[in-house]
Amino acid sequence: MSLSVTTWYLEQTARADLPPTQEPPTGQGVRIVRSERPSPEFSRFLYTAVGGDVAWTDRLAWPYARWAEYLARPGVETWVAYERGTPAGFIELEAGRDGSVEIVYFGLIPAFRGRRIGGHLLAYGIERAWDLAERWPGQVPTKRVWLHTCSLDGAHAMANYQRRGFRLYDTTVTEEPDAPAPGPWPGAGPLVAPHTPSGA
């Protein structure tokens, strides 16, 4: 069986398109750090943990060497959100030669969704897309930030991007195999609330 999938393409064409950054709740212990040393193991963990329940499958067959080659490309960055030292989600950027920067992947591990971390991470990642050339000598300054989302993504993905100043510029509809989302492992998900230390 096949499944009809709608894909929406969105963009920002000026840094001023991004509204003021949304901060996570005070005391939540959230910080965002760039993963500066390419690590296929860590990047694949983030990819499967975040995308397992929303049908991220295109990289599951990538061998180690392909992960390593991709992550080592100039202009590819992974920014990771941590809550009290635990990875909560990530945003991956890839710069083009024409001054465009794509938000290739963005999302949270299921147990961390709905806690105002995602909006903060997305806004922070968009800011890093706009100043990406400052970290890469010879890179063309960013002129455009773009991404795509589809009907298989989370229900609030499109609205989340539009609240951050993205505008729709194209839409496509394709037929894809109807297969269950693989998940990082069988039964993974936010079955219980994460433990919060007393007094926190």
At the topology level, CATH places domain 2-177 in Aminopeptidase (3.40.630)
CB contact at 8 A, 11 and 144: yes
pLDDT digits (tens, 9 = 90+) for 76-109: 999 999 999 999 999 999 999 999 999 999 999 9
pLDDT digits (tens, 9 = 90+) for 11-52: 999 999 999 876 776 677 899 999 999 999 999 999 999 998
Q: Kindly provide the residue ranges of all beta strands, DSSP E only, lying in the chain, ordered along the sequence.
A: 2-12, 30-34, 76-83, 86-95, 100-108, 144-150, 167-177
Ramachandran class of 75: left when φ > 0, alpha when ψ lies in -120 to 50, beta otherwise: left
In angstroms, the CA 106 to CA 100 distance is 17
CB contact at 8 A, 75 and 94: yes
To the nearest whole number, what is the mean pLDDT of the chain? Answer: 88
Q: Where are the domains of the chain?
A: 2-177
Provide the greatest CA pair distance for the chain.
Answer: 52
